[in-house]
Chains A and B, each alone.
Chain A
Amino acid sequence: MADKKFRALVCCRAGMGSSMMLKIKCDQVIKESNLPIETEHGNLDSLNGFTGDLVVTMSDLTDELAVDPRVPYAVGVKNIVDKAEIKAGLVKYLAEQGVEVSE
């Protein structure tokens, strides 16, 4: 399991713009903290046929996604530039999968 990478879809309604910016910040956090997650980005339509592990969006979309059967797990981000918040959301997800993240 050590090499398992979780696949995250970073998305917004439009599939460009804010989702791409959120992906950039997620990738910075993932790299800095060496988290076992790889990201792709898209729009809400990308959820059709999505086979990854979690979805990351701005928090306003998260409530809707949390009840969407296509979404295995939703991480909401309130502030796109807050790397600590993004990290906390991803680490919480990983902890629930039994993956401990060393600081």
Chain B
Amino acid sequence: MLSDLVSEELIQLDVEATNWEDGVRKSAQPLVDAGKVTPAYVDDIVKGVNELGPYIVITEHVALPHARPEQGALEPAVGITVLREPVEFGSKDNDPVKFLFPLSAKDSDGHIAALQSLVELLSDPEFFTRLEAAHSPKDVMGLIHDMEGSL
């Protein structure tokens, strides 16, 4: 379940970011602090975008910052960061990005159900409406439990 991988400490609302790299680093910092990924993992996310372009921007206004597991994924986790003002990633189709879902997974096969929930939530405009209206990480956890239950 997605709610097994997200926790309040990984959720941040109303975050100020000066550019895409700042947004990626800020979104991933709670995962570093909670021991879910190493700082090198975050560096590799940034490196990947610099080398290959904004491929982590997967749908309108949404980025899924993640890197190769061997770069420092320690425990499976999904974070949620909502930016105060969206930032440009250079994605022709999906800029600007307001929502970031940093991801740590050692392998994807063990987390198919969680990723399935996540992709279904990302498919649902109501999820983003409610996420923007959330006032606290606790609200967001409630939203995930609520919507995940109805998938």
Same complex for A and B? Answer: yes
Chain A interface residues toward B at CB < 8 A: 12-22, 24-25, 41, 43, 57-61, 64, 78-82
Interface size of B in residues (CB-CB distance below 8 Å): 32
Chain B's nearest CB lies how many Å from the CB of A62? 9
**Complex Cα gap A79–B118 (Å):** 14
Query: Is B103 an interface position by the 8 A CB rule?
Result: yes
Residue contact B66 to A17, C-beta cutoff 8 Å:
yes
Please name the 6 residue pairs, one residue from A and one from B, whose CB atoms are nearest each other, closest first. Answer: A16-B108, A20-B108, A60-B55, A81-B123, A17-B66, A78-B93
- With A16-B108, A58-B58 in contact, is A24–B66 under 8 Å at CB? no
- With A58-B58, A79-B60 in contact, is A14–B66 under 8 Å at CB? yes
- With A15-B108, A16-B107 in contact, is A24–B64 under 8 Å at CB? no
Chain A's nearest CB lies how many Å from the CB of B113? 10
B interface secondary structure, majority = loop
- With A17-B105, A43-B68, A80-B122 in contact, is A24–B59 under 8 Å at CB? no
Q: In B39-96, which residues have CB < 8 Å from any A CB?
A: 48, 52-60, 64, 66-69, 91-94
Chain A's nearest CB lies how many Å from the CB of B13? 22
Chain B interface residues toward A at CB < 8 A: 48, 52-60, 64, 66-69, 91-94, 103, 105-108, 111-112, 115-116, 118-119, 122-123
Residue contact A20 to B115, C-beta cutoff 8 Å:
yes
A interface secondary structure, majority = mixed
Residue contact A60 to B66, C-beta cutoff 8 Å:
no
Told that A14-B68, A15-B68 touch, could you supply 13 new A-B pairs with CB distance under 8 A? A12-B55, A13-B67, A16-B103, A21-B64, A21-B119, A24-B112, A41-B108, A60-B91, A61-B53, A79-B93, A79-B94, A81-B119, A81-B122
